[in-house]
A and B are shown apart, each in its own frame.
Chain A
Amino acid sequence: MHPAPSVIVFTALSGLGFGLLAFLGVNVPDVTGMTAFIFFFIAYALAVGGLIASTFHLGNPQRALKAFTQWRTSWLSREGVFAVLSLCVMGIYAACLIFLDLRLPVVGIIGSILSLISVYCTSMIYGQLKTVPRWNQPLTPVLFLVYALTGGALLSGQVYLAAGLMVILAILQYAHWTIGDGRLKAAGGTIEAATGLGHLGKVRLLESPHSGTNYLLREMAHEVGRKHALKLRVIALLCLGVLPCALLLLTAPGHLSALLAIVLHLVGVFAARWLFFAEAEHVQALYYDRHRAA
């Protein structure tokens, strides 16, 4: 799949933002006033910034409000609904905490749960697609949730929790890649199955529908980004888990080491999210004779 910057930024940043909101809603860290304002500002900047980035790839963003209507069937619509709900509920919680020094624990817990549901909905936009077997596995929503929780723990300054979650995240990410590598084959993703001509013999594309490219190939048969997949996987695992984890546990806690750990983690998240899209094989590209097993 085409690793569009807008969707990478959207899923990565809004995940971190909602992860931080989930922690802030249950009073972690225990802050009020100006400090609380800074924490909530960071969370909202990430969550809202990510959501705004997601509108950049729309063909007609002026109609985006209509996307809140189809929550009965559409995970994308649900994502929008829950994102707005959690931002509103957490907004009430944050305003009381910052300006009135008033803690509303029930509102906070509801806001935390809604934030995590938003992340789950984001993950299901991808996890629901049978057409992209690499995404269509139960680990996809788990992975997105642990990404959000790890980022949230890191941003809310929970050193040991963040370190532990980073180890779990690295293992989960590795498992998602490994299982994902076999998903296309398991889903019967061959040109013979796609064309239904397998009973006649081996199938190959003799002539493409057009000599040039098209929307389908640009959007769903992206292969350039996979060129350095292995190197990127190593970089992602080092940056999202190993290095920041070591940094947090081996250095004295402080703003500088925390900032460095966050930056490293972000680099890892972006590398992993690039691969999430770039490595994903869409079955319709089988009709263009792509995705042959190497």
Chain B
Amino acid sequence: MTTLPQSTHKKLGLAIDLDICVGCHACVINCKEWNTSNYGAPLSDQDAYGAEPVGTFLNRIHTFEVKAADKPAQTVHFPKSCLHCDDAPCVTVCPTGASYKRVDDGIVLVNESDCIGCGLCAWACPYGARELDAAEGVMKKCTLCVDRIYNENLPEVDREPACVRTCPANARHFGDFADPDSNVSRMSAERGAVPLFPEQGTNPVNRYLPPRPKADIQTDGDIDILAPFLDTGSAGKSGSSTGSTSTSAKGLLGWLDKALEAI
């Protein structure tokens, strides 16, 4: 049924830390690996070894450059998967009832045996979280690894989404946003996390923790900020100016310099 529930008992979702993500794409790979071999149709690739490979992915990492005037540019790696919105427009547009939001935990899923592959739900999603699989003709999306998180055949430590389990930087966190004391709720409150693209009125469950402010680097015109640390001689003895590399090194480096010179 494509009518959205009034409210859900839990709000399972992800808190994604944009400050920590290093853009390694490990979550992309583990997501694809788990979801191509478990619940639902596989995530197919076309022309996988050819000139123009394309394929279905439920999780994609964009890398942005952010530049404020008078500041150095900064890089933000931006993982993007389904945000399991409370007001999910992808669910209500579905003509067959294949798309639905679960009352128990708020996960948005597709019943693939009802999906006619019209693609309207992908059009309705502002985040690009749904992809029509070219081989199966059904809509694929993040299931929040529904076949892992409740799976008692797995060790307890593995009962979280594949992307969260695999992230080497710990940038992705899984939890219940309906519980104000959950890890993800506390994290979101502390870091001032905001819903993504609120102009679209989707009320997403997932939260993005914004990049922390960068410390401003004072260069005083000297671009080599490591220079002060390269002066290995005892302070005051050397006649050379501090804060820059001198041509005649002292101490260990000086010995090395002389030794290498002698060879």
Which A residues have a C-beta under 8 Å from some C-beta of B? 1, 57-61, 63-64, 66-70, 72-77, 80, 125, 128-132, 187-188, 191, 193-197, 199-210, 212-216, 219-220, 282-285, 287-288
> How many angstroms from the CA of A80 to the CA of B23 in the assembled complex?
44
Check if B66 sits within 8 Å of A200, measured CB to CB.
yes
Check if B96 sits within 8 Å of A283, measured CB to CB.
no
Check if B66 sits within 8 Å of A132, measured CB to CB.
no
- List the one stretch of B125-133, B145-153, B219-227 in contact with chain A: B125-133
Check if A201 sits within 8 Å of B67, measured CB to CB.
yes
Check if B2 sits within 8 Å of A219, measured CB to CB.
no
Check if B64 sits within 8 Å of A76, measured CB to CB.
no
What residues of chain A lie closer than 8 Å to B163, measured between beta carbons? none
What residues of chain A lie closer than 8 Å to B2, measured between beta carbons? 70, 72-74
> How many angstroms from the CA of A283 to the CA of B196 in the assembled complex?
13
Check if B116 sits within 8 Å of A66, measured CB to CB.
yes
> How many angstroms from the CA of A219 to the CA of B125 in the assembled complex?
13
Check if B66 sits within 8 Å of A203, measured CB to CB.
yes
Say whether chain B's binding surface is mostly helix, strand, loop, or mixed.
loop
What residues of chain B lie closer than 8 Å to A187, measured between beta carbons? 199
Name the contact of B116 in the complex, choosing from A64, A125, A132, A191 (C-beta under 8 A). A64
0/1 string, B53-88, CB within 8 A of A gives 1: 111110011111111110101111010100000000
> How many angstroms from the CA of A199 to the CA of B66 in the assembled complex?
10
> Contacts A66-B97, A74-B94, A76-B93 known; A131 to B123 CB distance under 8 Å?
yes
The number of chain B residues with a CB under 8 A from chain A is 69
Can you spell out 13 A-B residue pairs with CB atoms less than 8 angstroms apart? A59-B116, A60-B117, A68-B95, A69-B97, A73-B92, A195-B196, A196-B194, A199-B210, A201-B74, A215-B56, A216-B131, A219-B132, A283-B200
Check if A69 sits within 8 Å of B118, measured CB to CB.
no
Q: What is the CB-to-nearest-CB distance from A278 to chain B, in angstroms, rounded to a whole number?
A: 15
Q: What is the CB-to-nearest-CB distance from A282 to chain B, in angstroms, rounded to a whole number?
A: 7
Check if B114 sits within 8 Å of A63, measured CB to CB.
yes
Q: What is the CB-to-nearest-CB distance from B61 to chain A, in angstroms, rounded to a whole number?
A: 6
Name the contact of A287 in the complex, choosing from B62, B138, B194 (C-beta under 8 A). B62
> Which residue on B lies nearest to A73, using beta carbons?
B92
Check if A58 sits within 8 Å of B117, measured CB to CB.
yes
> How many angstroms from the CA of A216 to the CA of B197 in the assembled complex?
18
> Contacts A59-B132, A72-B2, A212-B52 known; A132 to B123 CB distance under 8 Å?
yes
Check if A80 sits within 8 Å of B3, measured CB to CB.
no
Check if B134 sits within 8 Å of A215, measured CB to CB.
yes
> Which residue on A lies nearest to B18, using beta carbons?
A197
What residues of chain A lie closer than 8 Å to B161, measured between beta carbons? none
Check if B137 sits within 8 Å of A69, measured CB to CB.
no
Q: What is the CB-to-nearest-CB distance from B195 to chain A, in angstroms, rounded to a whole number?
A: 8
Check if A203 sits within 8 Å of B116, measured CB to CB.
no
Check if B114 sits within 8 Å of A66, measured CB to CB.
yes
Check if A216 sits within 8 Å of B115, measured CB to CB.
no
